[in-house]
Amino acid sequence: MSVVPTHALILAAGRGERMRPLTDVTPKPLLEAGGKRLIEWQIEALVAAGIRHIVINVAHLPDQFEAALGDGKRYGVALHYSREGNEAADALETLGGIVKALPSLGQAPFIVTSGDIVTDYSYRMLSSASKALQEGTFDAHMVLVENPAFHSGGDMALVEHGELRRIDPDATPRLTYANIGIFSPHLFTPLTRELAGRRAPLFPWIYTAARANRVGGEHYGGRWWNAGTPDDLAQLDAELDRGLDCAIDQPHP
């Protein structure tokens, strides 16, 4: 049974309020750092891990995405666009965006990531998590990182679950969701009618599955950036220019 995911969703619909005024004219994932658009770091990392179909959800300045990225041929992947509307107010948030894009994400576990992060996390590391999902051990697997300054309270904790680790929203110490995860489509299928075209955040909805011991997880200690402000973006750009390239397809222990 294949455990390598072939489909991924890149979340790119929001305005990026803290990044204004830059995002008044350019969607945050299309801003550049290290000589690439932020979203291109993710596209290239996913392709290197074997992903062949990427869906990008769009709402804020949506036409700019296809104009900039095209159909994905130059990246070696098929890009599809899940259009949620024509402005930031139309964005469906994470859960609503996943539900809308679900018909384009295949029948096997798929990766969800964010178009505005940069990381050296290798998506090949999700192969074992994909196997656990296909075997029915979990319905989702979420990557956690140390709490950044802008989110010091974290989102959830990791606890032992036999030989694996699972998410516990009620335990401590809490870590921050890295906006990287892999999910079984059947987790969202019951929501397709209820949430059709409706805004819905991933949190706290995912906590229900976590409390039922259905969400696995891991703590990643490598490089991960979520540039939220223009100053953050400038700092990230400088760091990448100094040679902190993302080793997008190198395994980490």
Q: What percent of the chain has pLDDT over 90?
A: 70
The mean pLDDT value for 72-87 works out to 94
pLDDT of residue 148: 86
The mean pLDDT value for 194-212 works out to 90
pLDDT digit string (tens) for 225-239?
998 899 999 999 988
pLDDT digit string (tens) for 119-129?
999 999 998 89
- Tally of structural domains, the chain: 1
The answer as to whether 53 is a domain residue is yes
The answer as to whether 19 is a domain residue is yes
- CA distance linking residue 40 with residue 10, whole number of Å: 11
The answer as to whether 253 is a domain residue is no
Closest listed residue to residue 5, CA positions, set 122, 144, 179: 122
CATH number at residue 62: 3.90.550.10
Statement: residue 3 has pLDDT above 60: yes
The answer as to whether 246 is a domain residue is no
The answer as to whether 189 is a domain residue is yes
Statement: residue 250 has pLDDT above 80: no
pLDDT digit string (tens) for 149-163?
888 899 999 998 766
Q: How does residue 243 score in pLDDT terms, banded at 50, 70 and 90?
A: low
pLDDT of residue 162: 65
| Cα dihedral value 39, 42, 48, 51, nearest 10 | -90
- 40 burial level (CB within 10 Å; 0-12, 13-18, 19+): buried
The answer as to whether 78 is a domain residue is yes
Cα angle: 65, vertex 71, 73; to 5 degrees: 130
Residues spanned by the domain of 152 = 7-239
Residues 6+ apart with CB under 8 A from 158: 144, 165, 166, 167, 168, 175, 217, 218, 219
pLDDT of residue 150: 86
Output the six-digit token pair for 230: 């223009």
- CA distance linking residue 2 with residue 250, whole number of Å: 21
The answer as to whether 166 is a domain residue is yes
pLDDT of residue 195: 85
pLDDT of residue 59: 95
The mean pLDDT value for 13-22 works out to 91
The position carrying tokens 């990557």 is: 143
Statement: residue 99 has pLDDT above 70: yes
Q: How does residue 20 score in pLDDT terms, banded at 50, 70 and 90?
A: very high
The answer as to whether 11 is a domain residue is yes
